[in-house]
A and B are shown apart, each in its own frame.
Chain A
Amino acid sequence: MNVAVILQQVPDTEAVVKPNPAVPGGIVEEGVKFILNPYDEFAVEEALKITEKDGGEVVGVCIGPDRAENAIRMAMAMGMERAILISEPAALEADIVTQGAILAAALKTLSPRLILSGREMIDNQNDAAAAVVARKLGLPHVLAASKIEVTGDKAVVVRDIEGGSLEIETSLPAAISCQKGLNEPRYPTLIAIKRAKNKEIKKMTLAELGLTAAAPKSRVTALRLPQARAAGVKITGTPEEVTGKCLAWLSGTAKVI
């Protein structure tokens, strides 16, 4: 059985992102390098490990503009076999819950045994995709997995929470989002990168998925830069001198002690 991975293309973590005044909710894309969402690499790696052990293919679904093909090719160079890309503006502009419903409809066409995603999309900080997709497909889910053990039609998953973790057993199919620490994503070889160019990316429309554009549930009206932190004081001196000044600041200005 196949393992499906939800993919997202995001600006590189080093990128300087600026709001685009011409596009409400959009960023200036000129000069920005786009990459496969870093957490998605853990999901692709885990999917490959599972299919290498149990058989089946790794397949992908992605909502993104045409340029998202590059992110999908990266996953394909790692070993993903084929993918669905949904590029319609109505899908790109949709809110998180609606996008989850669109991904669910696309995933349904792939009948996967397991659905994986990255823990979070680092552009819109959406860490809900796996849970929303699971609800829309009527499947169980586990988020932020740092360990996944698939045995037959069950998986035992360790999920990070504050101050520890939870060990969760879930029936399959299920949707699981993947946390850093789950595995070490492989680097694609040159041959694999070449081969990836010929793998199938199927473009699908909302109509083909049996969906109609829904009214947005939420809308980003503006993106803006946070207020820059004003530079504070900078001091040098012996450890005793700087400590004295620091304590005075902690009690006087910050009032922390």
Chain B
Amino acid sequence: MAGVLVWIETSEGKIRKVTREAASAGAKLAAAQNAPLCAVLFNGKDLLPELGNMGFSKVYTADGAAFEKYSGEAYADALAAAGEQCGADVFLTGATALGRDLSACLAAKLDAALAIDVTEIKYDAKPLSVVRPVYSGKLLADVELTAGKKVISLRPNVFPVTEKPAAAPEIIPLSTETAAIRAQVLKAIKAAEGVMDVAEATIIVSGGRGTGGAAGFKVIEDLARTLGGAVGASRVAVDEGWIEYSHQVGQTGKVVSPVLYIACGISGSTQHFAGMGTSKFIIAVNTDPDAPIMEKADFAIVGDLFKVVPVLKEELLKVVK
């Protein structure tokens, strides 16, 4: 028996976009295997109606204090139990911070094949195969998942969401015994109000050495806000202390795949490119026409970011309004 099981990751009571992407990829995989698509939802009864359109035949729910806060151990136990019940051999999560954590715990528990941050699934391949970036995106690895059970985390913003009206899933409360949680979340600390994270953003405006300092990031932030996007940064800007590490994109920062990446005053080292090279469209603004990023951008503007970006923001405001 085969089946695909998806972890429904929520953030502030909403289903994460990458979870919808994983559900759509899961539906395609389940169809290819002629197997059921199932899901596990922790403490999210309000979200059940929304899951109707995602193509699940069964949704396992786990509620109660043990699942209120994330625990890799408790969540992996529950997913393994649900997988056992529905005969799942493929487990999907988004490659978010917690999705990666959970997929590692689950793979270790099930002695499964683990594929992290996957950007392509070869749906019809036997054994099931995937593609994942390695060496910071400098290379792609074709990976055959040969073990009986496979745990895959999917890079956000890569897989399309293809939801269509479907029959309402069967809801099955999961009764699992949870061991004492030893790594206990005490509290969640939110970043400053209105600060969007780069990892799942569809538009990112990034600043580098050319911003010249913390004050220079203001024009970057203004443009990001106008576009409803997140603020990114190169390593130089972070190392200089102009902006927090959580904004860093690149080999030693975050890996992002937005629809639009606007690099302002960033030369585009291989390390930076490793973090944003899979963006759908790249715009670069740089005074140096020969900077590496200018050869790789889809739209390269030779100019001073302090002159170009504010005008761009004003004109965009008119369009957006």
Contact = CB atoms under 8 A, between A and B. Distances in A.
Nearest to B182: A140
Contacts of A140: 73, 182-183
B294 interface: yes
A254 B187 contact: no
Q: How large is the interface on B (under 10, 10 to 19, 20 to 34, 35 or more residues)?
A: 35 or more
A257 to B, nearest CB: 6
Contact of B296 (A13, A166, A181, A229): A229
B36 interface: no
B175 interface: no
Given A125-B136, A236-B302, A223 B141 contact: yes
A171 interface: yes
B299 A127 contact: no
Interface string B267-307: 00011000001101111000001000011111111110001
A218 B183 contact: no
A131 B142 contact: no
A47 to B, nearest CB: 19
B319 interface: yes
Given A181-B245, A235-B301, A247-B315, A254 B97 contact: no
B135 A11 contact: yes
Given A167-B186, A168-B185, A254-B298, A243 B100 contact: no
A97 B114 contact: yes
B222 interface: no
A33 B278 CA distance: 26
Contact of B316 (A39, A132, A165, A257): A257
A59 interface: no
B303 A236 contact: yes
B139 A27 contact: yes
A interface, over-half SS: mixed
Contact of A217 (B97, B114, B188, B289): B114
Interface in A210-233: 215-226, 229, 231-233
B22 to A, nearest CB: 15
Given A140-B182, A224-B139, A164 B100 contact: no
Interface stretch (A48-56, A83-91, A155-163, A186-194): A155-163
B193 to A, nearest CB: 11
B231 interface: no
Interface in A129-162: 131-132, 134-136, 139-144, 146, 156, 158-162
A180 interface: yes
Contact of A223 (B112, B134, B289, B308): B134
A94 B71 CA distance: 27
B260 A160 contact: no
Contacts of B136: 13, 122, 125
A217 B184 contact: no
Nearest to B192: A164
**A-B pairs with the 4 shortest C-beta distances?**
A128-B104, A135-B108, A217-B147, A131-B104
13 contacts: A13-B136, A13-B252, A125-B133, A128-B100, A135-B109, A140-B73, A141-B72, A159-B97, A161-B96, A232-B300, A242-B303, A250-B260, A256-B281
Given A171-B182, A254-B281, A257-B320, 10 more contacts: A95-B113, A125-B134, A128-B100, A131-B104, A164-B188, A226-B139, A233-B298, A239-B308, A242-B301, A242-B303
